[in-house]
Amino acid sequence: MVDIDNRLLLVEEFKLGRGRPGFPLMMEFAVNPETAPILVSTTRAVAWLNPRDHRIRAASRPVPDEGVFFREVVQAVVDVGVSNQWGNVHPSTKDGVQAAIDYVTSYDITPVQSLRGPRFEAPGVDYARIPIAPWLDNLLIVIPLDREYLGFLLRYGCRGVAVIHNACRGIAVAGGIPTAKP
């Protein structure tokens, strides 16, 4: 289980009414197309989509561990950020951490929060005020303090459906390029 202060997204429990069938296989959500591209859960992974008619669909999938899922989202943001040259991935240095903060705040997203993995190291960075998120491993991320800005993970038991909007503006990374965990 991930500490609530170390979560990447807003996490809500899905409540079913009495006599209702189980968690849906897919859900449709209204979104602002200006927040595209949007990262959504699929039955086995995450995928980047552009909304059609201000709507997006996301599939439910197993999410037994929020941390593993959050790491998968960060990996997807890093991969696309690097390939599309978003400028949201920075080196593991004091200047890299500041560049990550500057990147997110340049979109008028304030206040922001930094989270770091237990193996993140950058000379000259004051770690005392940066919470540890074990699921980040060797990375530091800068994200909005208000997690709703990024999106949500809707959970029902060990399943979940997620919509991550503003990922290209609201997530910056300092540290080694992460590798996907199986």
Spans of the chain below 50 pLDDT? 1, 178-182
Residue type, 123: P
What's residue 91's pLDDT? 93
Instruction: Give residue 3's pLDDT.
Output: 59
HSE toward the beta carbon, residue 132, CA cutoff 13 A? 10
Residue with tokens 């989509």: 49
* Cα dihedral across residues 36, 41, 43, 45: positive or negative: positive
Which pLDDT score is estimated for 44?
A: 93
